[in-house]
Amino acid sequence: MRIGLDGACLSPRPTGVGRYFQGLLRELIPLDPELEYTLFMKGEADPGLRFPNLRTVTLEGGGSYFIWQNTRLRRALRNGEFDRFWSPNYSLPLCLSTPSILTVHDISWRSLPGDYSWAQRWYKNVTAGRGIRRAGIIFTDSDFSRDEIVRHARVAAGKVKRVHLGIDEKFQRAGDDEIAGFKARHGVPGQRLIGFLGSFFKRRHVPEMIAAMEIARRRAPDLVLVLVGENYSVPPALLLSGRPGVLWLERIAEPELNAFYSSLSLFLYPSDYEGFGLPPMEALNCGTPSLLLPRGSLAEVYEGLALFIDRPDPALIAEAIAGYLQREEETRQRLLDRWRERKPYFSWKRAAAECLGEIRQAPCPS
């Protein structure tokens, strides 16, 4: 079987989708040497994958991902006589006849239309909506997302396959010197840090985290909230006001991620809606517990592995932070002990084997 892969997400600055696909492919490709994979990259980028049954092809071309996927990638797939094509990024090339596999991590533009503009919802419905209808297999990250896709997209439940994600072992506790260096570089030496990492969407309640920090700092003036992510919803004045105790970093380099997670006393992720929510797991593998909402997939994935509050009220967030800091070492150790017990399940090798099993079971193209 020859399988074409959309590797545009495996850029030098990978997003969560890129980390998902890289972790999965690293374990999937060597599972069956008889399968032949062709990974199509958008421009010059090294995906860091080396296997005898993998060929990497660079498709040059500027412009948006949509244009690249529907011009250069579509032509390459038509000329390649592939048995399957897999896109990990919600959408398939238009008018592609190759039997396709699609990963849909969530369907938030339909579940939470208020988080998106009319134009964004229209684009998602045109691209992802068509792909969901046409794909022979849809992989998703949680039972929650599977149910959401079936309900909102009205597709047969049998073709939506839940595969829980894995944790990349590159996320490890940083040493004391690395942590001190991270704090010094970002102007917060000697401070206790509370952190968040992810794009700033309404559902992630960044303003509420900022308001909670103002309350928490009345008891603990050495606390600093470090927010990492691109802003899509927060009034810029709130992030750029220079208020004490809040540091906004639009992004940090991949090599700094371990130091960031490890420098935190607590990771905040009060999100109303996640298809899986990898950042809390990355933080946990670096030794830092999280404070979450029991909504979306977070209750499913992190039951017993995190702290939860009922709603994203600033006073409740501040109270939870203060309560945790009073028992930090005890609580951290309890959650890390549970994580060590459950961590073997959250492996990319297990996820890859589940995906391969579904691909093999799918009807062969005629």
Alpha-carbon span 230 to 291, nearest angstrom: 21
- Whether 243 and 327 map to the same domain: the answer is yes
**H helices within 52-159, ranges in order?**
65-68, 74-80, 108-111, 118-134, 143-153
Task: Name the residue range of residue 35's domain.
Answer: 2-166+347-361
- Whether 181 and 228 map to the same domain: the answer is yes
Task: Tell me whether residue 20 is in a domain.
Answer: yes
- Whether 73 and 39 map to the same domain: the answer is yes
Task: Tell me whether residue 137 is in a domain.
Answer: yes
- Determine the pLDDT at residue 365: 47
- The CA-CA-CA angle for residues 111, 163, 311, to 5°, reads 40
Q: What is the pLDDT along the chain (366 residues), one digit of tens a residue?
A: 999 999 999 976 767 888 899 999 999 999 999 999 999 999 878 888 999 999 999 998 768 999 999 999 999 998 878 999 999 999 999 988 899 999 999 999 999 998 888 999 999 998 999 999 999 999 999 999 999 999 999 899 999 999 999 999 999 999 999 999 999 999 999 999 999 999 999 999 999 999 999 999 999 999 999 999 999 888 888 888 777 899 999 999 889 999 999 999 999 999 999 999 999 999 999 999 999 999 999 999 999 999 999 999 999 999 999 999 999 999 999 999 999 999 999 999 999 999 999 998 876 543
Phi, psi of 98 (to 5 degrees): -65, 130
- Whether 270 and 201 map to the same domain: the answer is yes
- Whether 318 and 219 map to the same domain: the answer is yes
- Whether 182 and 331 map to the same domain: the answer is yes
- Whether 186 and 211 map to the same domain: the answer is yes
Task: Tell me whether residue 366 is in a domain.
Answer: no
What is the tally of structural domains in the chain?
2
- Whether 199 and 131 map to the same domain: the answer is no
What are the structure tokens assigned to 279, written together? Answer: 């950042």
Identify the CATH number of the domain in which residue 238 sits.
3.40.50.2000
- Determine the pLDDT at residue 366: 37
Number of Cβ within a 10 Å radius of residue 97: 10
What are the structure tokens assigned to 168, written together? Answer: 């990349």
- Whether 238 and 354 map to the same domain: the answer is no
At 151, the amino acid letter reads: R
- Whether 193 and 335 map to the same domain: the answer is yes
Residue 284 and residue 339 in contact, taking contact as beta carbons nearer than 8 Å: yes
Task: Tell me whether residue 171 is in a domain.
Answer: no
- Whether 147 and 194 map to the same domain: the answer is no
- Whether 59 and 97 map to the same domain: the answer is yes
- Determine the pLDDT at residue 6: 96
For residue 63, give the 3-state DSSP assignment.
coil
